[in-house]
């Protein structure tokens, strides 16, 4: 009897381990870029001056390198969420904050992939996308690399979004005690980067915005 119970316990443990391994393997993964309208890597003096006044806008980009989402292959496709809230994004005292968003899906996607990309963005962003104002289709070009510290990236959706980031340099440190003040807005593996340009020039949010020369980006990878 004890041998049977021990055997059942071993089999159950093995089954749980196999299930956990399957759960740990992401069904879709790729590159992630996020820019905000305030510094995310900064000293408290700068962050406190911006809190509640700026940082209410953000652009989140997911480029799928491999994987299937909701039964649909999204390999090589991208989706962008342009977000607007009523307060500073990333202020942990008020997170999670809900917001409006314009979604930009890859023009290469068919109808089924468009739906899957929309669902992926909403799932990854959670309450940040509590309302979708518009879903637009556009060519999306995203490149990552060319920097030893993994900070260089560019994103272009013609007439809608333009982003360029790079690694931090010695001249980008102002206070001397800078750190990652705000964490990334989604559950990703990302590091802060310097924003050379971040701009949204489309409709749907009752505003357009542009940020130049700020420490307001995160670049990394995602898996879901």
Segment 180-186 mean pLDDT: 83
Specify the pLDDT at position 182.
77
Provide the mean pLDDT of the chain: 81
Segment 24-32 mean pLDDT: 81
Apex CA 126: angle with CA 209 and CA 136, to 5°? 50
- Give the Cα separation of 114 and 106 in Å (integer): 8
Q: Which of 189, 186, 184 is CA-nearest to residue 216?
A: 184
Specify the pLDDT at position 115.
97
The rounded percent of the chain whose pLDDT value lies above 90 is 55
Specify the pLDDT at position 4.
44
Q: Binning pLDDT at 50, 70 and 90, where does residue 13 land?
A: very low
Specify the pLDDT at position 179.
66
Domain boundaries defined on the chain:
29-223
> Among 1-15, 22-36, 67-81, 82-96, whose mean pLDDT is lowest?
1-15
Please provide the DSSP assignment of 161-205 as one string. Answer: EEEEEE---GGG-SSS--EE-S--SSS-EEEEEEEEEEEE--SSS
Specify the pLDDT at position 177.
65
Q: Binning pLDDT at 50, 70 and 90, where does residue 214 land?
A: confident
86-131 confidence digits (pLDDT tens): 776 765 555 656 789 999 999 999 999 999 999 999 999 988 899 9
The residues with which 197 forms a beta bridge, in sequence order, are 164, 212
Specify the pLDDT at position 14.
40
From residue 141, how far is each of 48, 145, 197 by CA, in Å?
Answer: 35, 14, 15
- Give the Cα separation of 104 and 159 in Å (integer): 12
- Give the Cα separation of 150 and 147 in Å (integer): 5
Contact between residue 88 and residue 38 where contact means Cβ atoms under 8 Å apart? yes
Specify the pLDDT at position 23.
39
pTM: 0.82
Specify the pLDDT at position 147.
52
State which of 98-102, 119-123, 177-181, 205-209 shows the largest mean pLDDT.
119-123
């Amino acid at each position: 009897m004890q041998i049977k119970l021990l055997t059942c316990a071993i089999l159950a443990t093995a089954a749980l381990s196999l299930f956990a391994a399957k759960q740990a393997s992401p069904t879709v993964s790729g590159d992630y870029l996020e820019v905000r309208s305030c510094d995310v890597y900064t000293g408290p003096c700068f962050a406190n001056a911006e809190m509640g006044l700026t940082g209410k806008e953000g652009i989140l980009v997911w480029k799928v390198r491999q994987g299937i989402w909701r039964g649909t292959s999204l390999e090589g496709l991208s989706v962008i969420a342009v977000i607007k809230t009523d307060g500073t994004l990333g202020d942990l005292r008020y997170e999670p904050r809900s917001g409006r968003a314009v979604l930009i899906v890859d023009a290469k996607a068919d109808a089924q992939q468009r739906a899957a990309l929309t669902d992926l963005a909403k799932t990854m962003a959670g309450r940040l996308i509590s309302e979708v104002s518009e879903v637009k289709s556009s060519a999306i070009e995203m490149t990552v690399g060319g920097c030893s510290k993994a900070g260089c990236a560019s994103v272009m959706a013609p007439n809608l979004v333009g982003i360029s980031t790079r690694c931090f340099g010695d001249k980008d440190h102002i206070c001397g005690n800078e750190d990652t003040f705000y964490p990334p807005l989604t559950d990703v593996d990302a590091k802060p980067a310097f924003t050379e340009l971040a701009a949204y020039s489309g409709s749907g949010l009752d505003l357009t915005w542009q940020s130049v020369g700020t420490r307001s980006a995160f670049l990394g990878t995602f898996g879901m």
